Structure 1
């Protein structure tokens, strides 16, 4: 059995985080190293999928829930304008192999891309 991911540990309350969204299957938190004025992370509570491609194939309803949560958070925190980023693979910048989305907004610049 593999070690729980950092996101599973956050969902279990083992690691503190500032929650901004929670449903039965999805959690949203503030990123601890923001790359934009608003930088939130959304992820399934369970680590069943490593990346967005696996999630789309395995549970499209959960992917739709993540995207709907992103829109809700963007409406609340950025006036509805945002960038939604899923990194897939280490060479693309993915460091936690538990699917998660970055919700970025609040005056993005080229440096935050």
Structure 2
């Protein structure tokens, strides 16, 4: 945990979030500035500043499984959804705690930007 990290503070219960799913190693909650009708963030409970800092694939496996569960529970598993991981400043990452964006509920465009 990082005392200055927004997402670590959500995990600790210091900052409210609309939590919609969780597992022993991950947490999913609605984004406060949604970019699609469904926009959920899925984060590991352990603090990793970005994907580049994860020790192995087990972190992403747990987080990805929770993202799939969110898609299934919100009924977008069959119609489709997008999962985005921004890594580093040039990659568009603004909160430096690894997180997946799960976006759905509208037709996604390519390239994303």
State TM-score, norm by structure 1.
0.86
Corresponding residue number in structure 1 for 2:86: 87
Runs of 4+, deviation exceeding 3 Å = 108-111
Q: CA deviation at 1:79?
A: 2.3
Gaps of 5+ in 1: none
Check the 8 A contact 1:19/1:28 in 2, yes or no. Answer: yes
Separation in 2, partners of 1:36, 1:79 = 12
Check the 8 A contact 2:83/2:103 in 1, yes or no. Answer: yes
Q: CA deviation at 1:109?
A: 4.2
Separation in 1, partners of 2:75, 2:85 = 19
Corresponding residue number in structure 2 for 1:18: 18
Which structure has the highest helix share of the two? 1
Corresponding residue number in structure 1 for 2:52: 53
Q: CA deviation at 1:44?
A: 1.0
Instruction: Report the RMSD for the aligned CA atoms in angstroms.
Output: 1.7
Check the 8 A contact 2:36/2:104 in 1, yes or no. Answer: yes
- What is the number of equivalent residue pairs in this alignment? 108
